[in-house]
Structure 1
């Protein structure tokens, strides 16, 4: 790893310091070495937790993040620490997913990005918000519209949740 990259990534290779309150400043980037082509990067976080803003009870989810990078990419350890910072954050499921999307779009300025939260049932119901973004007036905006309107068309059963 070149020295300037190592200096810019403060979490990677260092002892982990966890934040217990939501903190988007934990996110770090590095340059996309293959910005000449479209390709997906996907992260799965099966241990996401946040708090219900009304009851304070914990909510558990798997968060799926997929994006087509442009110039910048998110460093995975910083993403892990950022997602962990929601642990004591009081936010409805939909708010958490949209906040993650907004923060990553602001940070990365990706060609395309989507976030899907698959929350564990509480009170007998699960909530699975999905949000996405594509650069306006481009094929990525068209892709975002298509993926949103065709999202999750398969009915869930106990074995495909």
Structure 2
């Protein structure tokens, strides 16, 4: 512990910040990463235990959240507005979702083109089962289509998954 503190002080004096860890110390999963809110309500606390005060309450099941830290059974998360806190991991899901950023974003049948399936308002939460570097397949209200990845919060630029 002392060596870590000394390394941090030396890095601050040298004007360099230590690099963020590439993976979470508890799960080994990438950090930061996106998850979704499993529960319809979740307390965001000041610290990683029920002894800490509740600063915020998330009330939208499926909302995408970004995990920025881990400690035992707790994950520090933030939402699209940067608001957050420590949430118990049981209230989170690995199901990928995203928030539409562009107003009236055209959801299409194929990546980068095809017939328009729907127009989505900014703020709509969509499921994201697949992403290519430029476009993501999304599902909402029984419709499936593709949106540009840049029109979504909950997906990293160039991120791919399926």
Q: TM-score, normalised by structure 2?
A: 0.26
Q: TM-score, normalised by structure 1?
A: 0.26
Pick the structure with more helix per residue.
1
Pick the structure with more strand per residue.
2
**Larger of the two Rg values belongs to structure:** 2
